Amino acid sequence: MFKEFKEFIAKGNVLDMAVGIIMGTAFTAIVNSVVEDLLMPIITGLTAGVDFSELNVNIAGAQLRFGNLINAIITFLIISLVMFSIVKAFNRNNKEENAEAESKDCPYCKTSIPVEATRCPHCTSELEGYHNEHTHAHNDRVTIVE
């Protein structure tokens, strides 16, 4: 069991995941600071100075702090928007890089075709990896049975 665990830990995926979690934790501190120190004061200013964290209701001796919930929802929405923007920008850059790897040029007609293509759809040339099970070699004997 220890051997299997050691192999599991030695895999690159676990290391990548650990680095991602650590980077995410560090990035969370930055995003929280942007939200709490920059954006929330602006939102408070736009809402005529209402500090949501002070909003609460007393019901049967229990204090319900729905202002903190409002702050948490606003923080979540802002963090989600920031993360969405970062991921969208990252994906846009990756899409441009991967677009080159998704196509190749036909060596005969020079038309752009998918990398997986084994036959050009434009000039019908047979490309590397082409295999047609219905064609026969020149020295094969074909017997037609009626």
Do 142 and 136 form a contact (C-beta atoms < 8 A)?
yes
pLDDT digits (tens, 9 = 90+) for 43-82: 778 777 767 778 889 999 898 888 888 888 887 887 788 7
Confidence band of 22 (pLDDT split at 50, 70, 90): very high
Three-state SS string over 102-133 comes to CEEECCCCCCEEECCCCECCCCCCECCCCCCC
**Angle ∠(23,28,32) on CA atoms, nearest 5:** 160
What are the pLDDT digits (tens) for 96-138?
665 556 788 888 888 888 888 888 888 888 877 766 666 555 5
**pTM of structure:** 0.44
Distance of alpha carbon 119 from alpha carbon 127, whole angstroms: 5
Take residue 111 and report the two structure tokens written for it: 């038309």
Distance CA 40, CA 10 (A): 43
Distance CA 119, CA 130 (A): 7
Distances (CA, A) of 53 to 21, 30, 31, 62, 67: 29, 21, 19, 16, 4
